[in-house]
Amino acid sequence: MYDNCADVVVEKNITLFERDKCSELTDKLANEVRVALVYNGISHTVMLASPQDLEEFAIGFTLSERIVSNINEIKGIDVEHVENGIIIHIEITQRCFVDLKEHRRSMAGRTGCGLCGVAQLDDAVKPIKTVDSDAVFNMEFLSSVLATAKMKQSNFELTGATHAALGLNSKGEVIYIYEDIGRHIALDKLIGAFSRRNAEKPVAVLLTSRASFEMVQKAASAGIQILFAMSAVTALAAELAEKSNITLVGFCRNGRANVYSHSFRLQNRLAPVTTI
C-alpha cells in the first residue's frame, strides 16, 4: 500500500461504466500517507496527509497547535521515509517539550472531524487568542482570487480529492498555495510557509473547504486576521471568530459571500455580500 508513499498522485487501472458502455482506463488518485510527528524522540500523533511540503506541515502544525509559541522554539526538522509511511522528527526546546508531555493526547487520523482522539472535552478548546486589526482586503478582488484558486489547484485538477489553503496579499494576489487531502493540514502547511524568517505574511487566507472551529482556532494561533471559506461556516467557528477578532467569510462563490464577523476589514464590499 505504501510502496509509493513519496508520490503525491498515483495511478490506478480502473473500469469505467458510462451509460451503456464499459471501458478500461487509468485514473489518478490523491495519495494518502501515514505521517507520524515525533517530538524530541517521543511520538505525538499520526496523521493522514499528502506526502508533500512536509517541513511546512511540521512547522505549521507545531505552531497552530501551540506546541511552541514561536518558530525559534523549533530547533530542527528531519523527514524520514520508512516502509509504512513517513516520520517527521521535530526537535523543540526543552521547556516546550516538558509542556507537551504534560498535555499529550492521541489525535490519530484527524482528516475528518479534526478532534478525533481528544481525551478530555477541555483539550478541544484552547484559550482564546485575539489577532490584530490592521489588515484590509478589497472585496472587489474576490472574484479573480476564486478564479485563480481554481487554476492553481494542480492536485485537485488531477484527482478531485484535495483541499487547498491560499495566502493572499493586499492586491488580491495569491502568494502561497498548499494542497492536501486534509483541509486542516493544508492550512498548517500554509502557516508553516509564512512563519519562516523573512517570509511574507498574507493579508488574508482562502480555504477551499468549510470553515470549522478548528480552522478558525488555527488561524487565530497564526495571527491570520481575515479567513475566507468557499464552503460553509459552522456556528462554533463563527463564535470563535467573533471572540478572536477574526473576519470570517463563508460561501465565497459566484460573486457573493457571507460575512460572519468583524466586517470592518473588508472594503468596497460589492452586493450581494451579506453580513450575518
Average pLDDT over residues 258-276: 77
Q: Which of 13-17, 152-156, 252-256 has the lowest mean pLDDT?
A: 252-256
Q: How far apart are CA 92 and CA 100, in angstroms?
A: 10
Of the listed 5, 96, 113, 116, which one is catalytic? 113
116 catalytic? Reply is: no
* Confidence at 191, pLDDT banded by 50, 70, 90: very high
Angle ∠(211,217,219) on CA atoms, nearest 5: 75
Average pLDDT over residues 190-209: 97
Average pLDDT of the residues of the chain? 90
Provide the pLDDT for residue 94.
Answer: 97
Angle ∠(112,117,119) on CA atoms, nearest 5: 140
If phi > 0 it is left, if psi is from -120 to 50 it is alpha, else beta; for residue 182 that is: beta
For 140-242, list the strands marked E by DSSP: 163-168, 174-180, 204-207, 226-229
Q: How far apart are CA 222 and CA 82, in angstroms?
A: 31
Delineate the domains of the chain, giving CATH numbers in brackets.
33-123 (3.10.20.10), 137-275 (3.40.140.10)
Contact 83, 2 (CB under 8 A): yes
Average pLDDT over residues 205-234: 98
pLDDT of 14-67, one tens digit each?
Answer: 999 988 899 999 999 999 999 999 999 999 999 999 999 999 999 999 999 999
Provide the pLDDT for residue 110.
Answer: 45
* Confidence at 106, pLDDT banded by 50, 70, 90: very low
Q: Which of 42-56, 117-131, 179-193 has the lowest mean pLDDT?
A: 117-131
Provide the pLDDT for residue 2.
Answer: 46
Residue 98 has pLDDT above 50, yes or no: yes
Provide the pLDDT for residue 268.
Answer: 77
